[in-house]
Each structure stands twice: as C-alpha cells, then as structure tokens.
Structure 1
Amino acid sequence: MSAYTDAVTRLRHSQWQPALRQLQRGIEREALRIDDACQLAQDPHPSSLGSALTHPWITTDFSESLMEMITPVFTDPDQLLAHLADSHTFVLNKLPEQRLWPLSMPCFLTDQQSIPIAQYGDSHVGRMKTTYRIGLSHRYGSKMQAIAGVHFNFSVPTALWPALGVEPADEEQISARYFSLLRHFRAHTWVLAYLFGASPSLCRSFLGDKTSTLPFEQAGGTLYLPYATSLRMSDLGYTNQAQDALSVSLNSLPEYVRDVKRAISLPSAEYAKIGVRENGSYRQLNANILQIENELYAPIRPKRTAQSGETPTQALERGGVEYIEVRALDINPFTPLGIDKSQVLLLDLFLLDGLMLATPALDEAAVAELKANFEAVILDGRRPGKMLQRDGQSLALSDWLAELFARWQALAQVLDTAHGDQRYQQALSQWQGAVTDPAQTLSAKVLSQSLAQGHGKWACDLAQQHRQWFVQRGYDQLSEGELERASLESLQAQAAMEAADQGSFDEFLQAYFARQARA
C-alpha cells in the first residue's frame, strides 16, 4: 500500500491538477425501440434519424430496433451526459409513437423473427456489417443479441502520464500501463456487477420454450434469482461458450494481438454446420470461432481509433492502446440516460485507481479465480455474508469492497481538489451504503420494483416517464438544426460510399480477410 500512497501523494501536487481535470470519457448507450403497446418496434431504422452506417451519434447495433447513441470524447461529465441526452431527445422527437426500453434484458419477444436484423445499405462495408449480424443470429440467436448495455470509454490525457511514472511519448509504456488496468479491471469486474448490475430479473418470454439451468424463481411473468445482480452478464446474455477456450491474454499487447489473431483464424466445427453461403446468400462471414474481432465478447477492451481499412488489432499494433472500453455496464433504469453522473465519477475512480500501480500478470489460476468471483456475484452477489476468493484466500465481498472504497476516498480527495468541489466524494458517499447493505444496489431496487409491479408493466411505465423527460427538456450541447444536418449528411455519406464501391462483395470480403491474414 505504501507504493500506492506514494502514487496518490504525487497526484496531490498542484502541477497535475490541470491534467486531472482532463480525464477523457465517451459513452455508447444501447436501447430497444418499442411501440406504444410496449412491443418491439418492427419498422426499419427511420431515415429521419439519418444513416445508421455513417451517422456520428445515432446508429443501430444488432437490430433495426436496437438503437445506439454515441457521444464524442468529453472531459466534462455534465457535457458528456448532456450530449447523450440531446441524441435521445432528437430520436424521440422524431418517433412520437415510440419509446426506448429502459432495461438491459428485452421483454415481450415472441420469436427470433420478431427481431429485425440491422440493415446498412448496399455498400460493401454496409453489407459486411449486416452479414456479420446474420451470422450472430445463427450462432447465438437473436434474443441474446437484443440485450442492451452501456459502454464507457476512458483514457487519461498525455499530460498526466508523467505523474503515473510513464513517459508520455513511449507508446509501449502507455500500452503496458493500460494492459495493467485491464488486468486490474478483470480482477474487480465483480465490483461493477455488484454496484451497477441492474438485471436480476427478466420476462418469462425471454426464454420462450427453452429451459435454463439457473434456479429461477417465478412471480407471474417475472423470472428472477433472489440475490442476482446482472443476468445480462450470465450464460443467458453476453457470454460465448465457444470462446471460453480461447484464453485471450491480457498480460501484454503482443500477447493479446497474438491470441485475437488466432481466434479469428481458428475454424469451428460447430459453426461450419451453419454453412457460410446458402443459395447464393451469406449466412455468416466465415465458419471460424470469431467471424471478425468484434465478436470477441469481453467486459473490457483495449482500443485505438482505426484508420480506413484497419482491423482493431491492426490499429493497436500501429499505435498502441489509445483508450479502454468498459462493456460490463447494465442499463440503469432509474435514470433516462441509462447511466448517471455518480456512476461516471465512480468509474473515473475505479479506472484511475487501476492505472496507479502495475498489476501482475494473470496466470491460469488467477484467471480461474477471477472468473469464479465474477460468476458468483452476477448470480448471487447480494446474498448476506457473500464470500469471494482473493489469492486463494476467502474474503467477504463487503470487506473487499470497503478496502476499495477507502482507496478511492483518497483519490476522490485529490480529484476534488483539482476540480474545486466535492463531486467525487459525493459520488462515493452516494454509493457507500451499498458496501454493507446490498439493498442499496441497483439490482436490489430493480428486483423490488419488478416483483411489486410486475416486470413488464413497471418497465413500460418507466419507458413512458423517460420519454416525457426527454421531449420536455430541450437541447443543451447540440441544437435540433445540428442534428438534422448530421442526419442529412450521413445519408449523403452512405450514398457516396455505395457509389464509390468497385468490384463484387465477394471480392471485397476476400480482400478484407487477406489483409487480416497478412497482418
């Protein structure tokens, strides 16, 4: 702990205060469109919202019905959330008969065909994006792909690296420190599941006629586990058993790139049964364990903005890690945006804490232990007296979390001094009660409402309340005119891409995978 204390002491120096005010964040929020009867919207992505392929802020994920609102990078969390809110406001103003489903787990799904796969136009890039999603539907089923979450992108400014003992011009050092953060995060992902997990229950319709090995209890049409935190992150949601054997290393950038490249070239006998093409139409991009790198399910990823034609790992190889993407966040249904400012500030503390010191490499035993801890928390994390394992020793979840909060308190004081207010200490105080009282977690509050009102009815009512909040708020960071122009320009950009394409789609895919193989 003395080394950590030394690191905090360095940050207290006034020379680092400007840099501490420049932490860089972005948010990607997913949400299903629903109609006024609370059924999944079946209409295509509206042209009034622009092109899902080229719009900078409003797009789709797996489905035409699964919206994704994206922010640019902000250093001010208020501006970050205001920009995100502006995109939501624009969307709902354009869709007067629709709402956004306020939970991660979808509801009222009748069959796989009721989830329309996202369409991105006739360009080669657009067809590849759609074909990839067709492959996902065959591999995992569309219901799993309709699960929504929040992604949080984070990086520190160049000026802060010297305070962390890293040479700001040394890409290798920066990547190594970010990978240290990735390991720290994976060892503590359970913290986010415990505090921010918001999917302890789901509609019975999500399972359809399938059975689950999870010991669900049922109340009306609601299935739940009494002490669960995030069923979204369980086997019901964003997991892929076929990827379990991949063992993608977080010990260094070269090892990570090596393992991802192996995964995208490793054939799968199971996926070969699906077939790649049938009657001239693609069923998936290929029959490998991963069609492309984006299929690698992970609660956190190292990222660098890719140049035209680059894959994510090629971008990482070119310039090292630029930022990290946290993907383990459920939608927070108690705020219209799906995430609130206190969560953003707590994520700042969590992630900056992980950058403070070098985290050791993870061996197989450590990986197994952290995986077991995470699974214990997502399925049973609110059980009183819950125990986890740390370095082979049993430790109460509440005691471990109390240690982290004590560390974050020291860091919060440093950040508050830099900002001249109490924002970080107030955020910690807001979540402090959950350390010893699981009833104060998001998942406990969600379960309480689900059981009291009925899962579906409660969520439908929330969706309407959130809609009203957005359409009444006006705009902050963006104007309606700016959003209108961005939508029009995105449609023009898609048309230009389609007009510029040369050769066949088959040739485009062959060239893409050939470049990937050479890298």
Structure 2
Amino acid sequence: MYASYQARLERLLSREQAHTLRSGLIGLEKESLRVRTDGGIAQTPHPAALGSALTHPWITTDYSEALLEFITPPCTGARQALDFMRDLHRFTYPRIGEELLWATSMPCVLEGERGIPVARYGHSNAGRMKTVYRLGLGLRYGRLMQVIAGVHFNFSMGEAFWPAYQEILGAGGDERTFRDEIYFGMLRNLQRLGWLVPYLFGASPAVCKSFLAGKPTTLADFDESTYYEPYATSLRLGDIGYQNRKEEESGIKANYDNLEGYVQSLSRAIATPSPEYERLGVVVDGEYRQLNANILQIENEYYSTVRPKPSPQGNEKPTAALRRGGVAYVELRSVDINAFEPLGVGESQLYFLEALMIFALLNDSPPISELERFAIDHNQGATAHRGRDPSLKLMRGGEQISLRYWAEEVLQAMEPLCRILDGRDPLKPYTASLAQQKAKVDNAELTPSAQMLASMAANEEGFHHFAKRVSREHAACFRDARLDGAREAELEEQARSSLRQQRAMEAEDELEFGEYLRRYFAQ
C-alpha cells in the first residue's frame, strides 16, 4: 500500500538527500484559558504586562479576553519549540496574579455564556475587526464553543528539500507550483489519517456539565458534575466540539484538490449571503454585530483539522496571500491539551507529529471523492467518541477496517522514515516515540484519554476538580522556575514594543470602519 512512499525514501537515500528530510521547521500555538482560583473563567482584562494582544507576536488572545494564545516562531526542532513555549509560560505566570492557566482543552463555564468575555484589541480598525469577528462567532455558534482550547502544530519542509524532491519525482514546472501541489497532497493525507491523532493524543474524554448548559446529551454521567464517554478520546473533536455544521447544510466544503480550488471554495463562502445570518443583522443600533452576513465572515471561520498557511504581508487576506505566495507551512489543529504535560504537549509527541507530517507528504495522495469525504468525517467522529473501543471499525476504500489494524499498518510503514529522521542521534528520539505510539495501539489504557479517566476515578473526582488540581500543580511548576534574565528582559521589551505599536496604529487610522472593511474584502 505504501510502495511509492518507500521508493521515494530509497531514492532520497541513494542520492544522499535523506538529510533534507531533517531540515524542517516546527512551530507551536497553544491556547490557555485564564481562570480564577475556583476554576471559573477570569473576568479580568488581558494583562498589560503581557503586552498588546493585537500586535505581540508570541502572546495574544484567541476568542475570549481570558483565552491566552502562546505562539512560538518557527524552530529547528521539538526541544527548541518547547523551550520557547516554556519561557512564555514562565514569563506569564508572575503577571497574572493568583489566576491559573487551565490545564485541559475543555473548560468549565460556571457562569454560562455571560461569563465569557469577548477579546478586545483597542480602537484601531484592525483591532475592531478582530473583536467584531469574535462577536459574530458568538452570535452564530454560541460563546461556549469558542473557549475550547487546543494546540496547533505548524510544520514546513526546509528549503533544501524541495529541489531534491522535485528532481527525484521527475516533476517539471516551477518550484512554487510543485511545492503547493505537494503540500496539498500532504493536507489530504493528514485528513485521511486524521483519526490517528485523537486516538494517540486525545485528552478530552470528559466534560464539565456546565459546558453543555443544560442541553440534552447522549453522554453518560461520570458523577453529578461530569459527563463522559467510556471509550472517548477527544470530545473536543466530537459532536459537542467546534464545528461548521452550517457550512455543511449550505453545501460549502473546502476543496483540497489544489490551491486554486481551496481559495475559490473559501472565497465563495465568504461572498455568499446566509439568510440565517442576515436575520441576526450586521450593524444594529449603530454597532457592528458581525463582519458580514455571509456563510463565512472570513477564512478563519472555516473549521478544519488542517489548514494550508501563507505568509501574509501587512493586512493581506489569507486567500490573497495564498494566491500570491503559495503555502508557507501546514497547520495541524487537532491536538488536545494534555493535562499530564505542564506545557500541554510533550517532546516525544512532537517527534511523532513531525514524522507523521512528513509521512503524509511523501505518500501518494489522490483527490478526495465525495464517498471518501464522508469516510474521513465518520472516522474522526467515531474515534473522538469511541476510539478506545476494541471493536471500533473505521471506513477505508468502501470497506470497514479495525482502527487497531490500520494504526499498526501506518506505524509499521513509518519505521524507516523515523530511522532517517533520527540520523546519528544516539537517543533515536523518533524511533523511541514511534515505539511509544505502538504501545498505545497495543494497549489503549496508555493513551492520555484513558489515563485521565483513570486518574479521575482513582481520586474520586469529577472533571472540574481534576482539571483544577492539575492546573494548580502546573502553576506551581512554572512559578517556582526562574526565567533567564536576558530572556525576561527580551520579553519585557517585546511587551512594551507591542503596546507602542498598538498606540501608533490607533493614532494613524483615518478610514471609517465600514470603508476599512470594504477595502479589506475587496482584495
């Protein structure tokens, strides 16, 4: 099944180009909800000591004023990315008082929707646009969905890889077109194998009952305060998580056949009015409630487990940036925050995810048919809700296949790639990580989702108490560790610089907000 992938690996080895597989860059984005000591969502504004959420490159906010987002620059390896992420956490903790960073993907929404403050970015047009977009998300999908947190794994192949790989494949044309084509093949394969990520790393098998706000559910009672599913891996990726159901109802689905198809499908959704959203109103009593009344306000509203990412210039739309410069990197968005890791993600996990991204890139990747799209969606949902059920069957090629058998097949095929990625490292981190994942396939009790339920049962605690306890443990870990003096000074200057940058943007704005939006969407 993986003959072409194996042949490509062998050709890279025979032409002494295997080192180009080790030239990739990785980056991390991690969302962390600020909570009070009782576990309720913090109502305080984004701390000024952390800088401007609008302009800071590494510390910003996502949907809510309380939902911090930590971002690393592109790094040469897992250890470097985690070191940078650790420094951001050590910098943050002394600047949030007694508040905690919630240690899980799923929140406890103790005060309901009214207790979720929407992020604010100042009164520049760019800042207003970010806030109005979030107001629109809350209106369309509800605010509860927007405070689910996750980790995004960003990956790009190194520059040396592309000419070597193009020569090995005997592909003509310019390198930019070739690169986009290969990255879109990678995106399709990451969707085909997407179920493997929640199985191995899903860490949201239970949820606080407050999150469902009294809505009916098929989830079982763990105790009086917690819902769960006994074989669930990632309820975040399941039916109660953030999804674009309305796009499916409208017949809008992103096209991953190629870059132009992807751009056109999203552009069409952004330009197509939605009667339902028109009823909500765009400007009501002089205040913007959403950016527009179309199926998507902007590209980011389309939820997917993977995204092709460009390098935008200034205020450039993502689709315009993709058309101009092509795919810069691929973002894997399906990683839960692991409560057993202080940073929410571990080093061994990153080695595996990097290997999986390259494996997806090197494999054949035909277009996704309508039947296969159905199978991909089914496999993700089934794994999210029942991934550890030993009898679970997934869909592949119009037939059923056991999750365990398929996983074993993939991990076995990844062995030679992991050996190449290890290079001369005596610790062989990629092969060691692969062995850990194989152990999880053999024994589902080793997965983070199973370990979380086991810890809750052993401590006789529901989700809220488990998450609060672990959050406190992580907080102590970061507060007790000293940040390097030079790094602290660098981060303090970055915070001050970002505040200056926001003030300058606000002072320079001359356009009326409606005209600013018109020009933005006219790109």
Q: Amino acid of the residue matched to residue 176 of structure 1? A: E
Separation in 2 of the partners of 1:447 and 1:290? Answer: 37
Where does residue 510 of structure 1 map in the other structure? 518
Where does residue 147 of structure 2 map in the other structure? 146
SS at match of 1:289: coil
Where does residue 463 of structure 2 map in the other structure? 455
TM-align CA RMSD: 1.6
TM-score, length-normalised on structure 2? 0.95
CA contact (8 A) 1:86 1:477 kept: no
Give the alignment of 1:84-483 within 5 angstroms. 84-165=85-166, 170-212=175-217, 214-244=218-248, 245-417=251-423, 419=425, 421-451=427-457, 452-475=460-483, 479-483=487-491
Q: Amino acid of the residue matched to residue 188 of structure 1? A: L
Once the two structures are TM-superposed, the CA of residue 385 in structure 1 deviates from its matched residue by: 2.2
Once the two structures are TM-superposed, the CA of residue 35 in structure 1 deviates from its matched residue by: 1.6
Task: Kindly provide the CA deviation profile for residues 100-127 of structure 1, in whole angstroms up to 9, marking residues without a partner as x.
Answer: 0001010142221101000000100000
Question: What percentage of residue pairs aligned between the two structures are identical?
Answer: 42
CA contact (8 A) 1:83 1:478 kept: no
Separation in 1 of the partners of 2:356 and 2:221? Answer: 33
Give the alignment of 1:28-47 within 5 angstroms. 28-47=29-48
Where does residue 80 of structure 1 map in the other structure? 81
Q: Amino acid of the residue matched to residue 74 of structure 1? A: C
Separation in 2 of the partners of 1:477 and 1:162? Answer: 42
Separation in 2 of the partners of 1:476 and 1:321? Answer: 35
Once the two structures are TM-superposed, the CA of residue 267 in structure 1 deviates from its matched residue by: 1.0
Separation in 1 of the partners of 2:365 and 2:486? Answer: 40
Q: Amino acid of the residue matched to residue 520 of structure 2? A: Y
Runs of 5+ consecutive residues of structure 1 not aligned to the other structure: none
Separation in 1 of the partners of 2:16 and 2:478? Answer: 40
Where does residue 507 of structure 2 map in the other structure? 499
SS at match of 1:343: helix
Separation in 1 of the partners of 2:373 and 2:496? Answer: 47
Task: Kindly provide the CA deviation profile for residues 360-392 of structure 1, in whole angstroms up to 9, marking residues without a partner as x.
Answer: 111111111111111111111111121111101
Separation in 2 of the partners of 1:9 and 1:419? Answer: 20
SS at match of 2:16: helix
CA contact (8 A) 1:153 1:325 kept: yes
Q: Amino acid of the residue matched to residue 129 of structure 1? A: K
TM-score, length-normalised on structure 1? 0.96
CA contact (8 A) 2:184 2:259 kept: yes
Once the two structures are TM-superposed, the CA of residue 418 in structure 1 deviates from its matched residue by: 5.1
Once the two structures are TM-superposed, the CA of residue 189 in structure 1 deviates from its matched residue by: 0.5
Q: Amino acid of the residue matched to residue 119 of structure 1? A: R
Runs of 5+ consecutive residues of structure 2 not aligned to the other structure: none
Once the two structures are TM-superposed, the CA of residue 272 in structure 1 deviates from its matched residue by: 1.3
Once the two structures are TM-superposed, the CA of residue 419 in structure 1 deviates from its matched residue by: 4.1
Q: Amino acid of the residue matched to residue 312 of structure 2? A: A
Separation in 2 of the partners of 1:96 and 1:18? Answer: 46
Task: Kindly provide the CA deviation profile for residues 189-230 of structure 1, in whole angstroms up to 9, marking residues without a partner as x.
Answer: 000011111111100010112223x34334221100111111
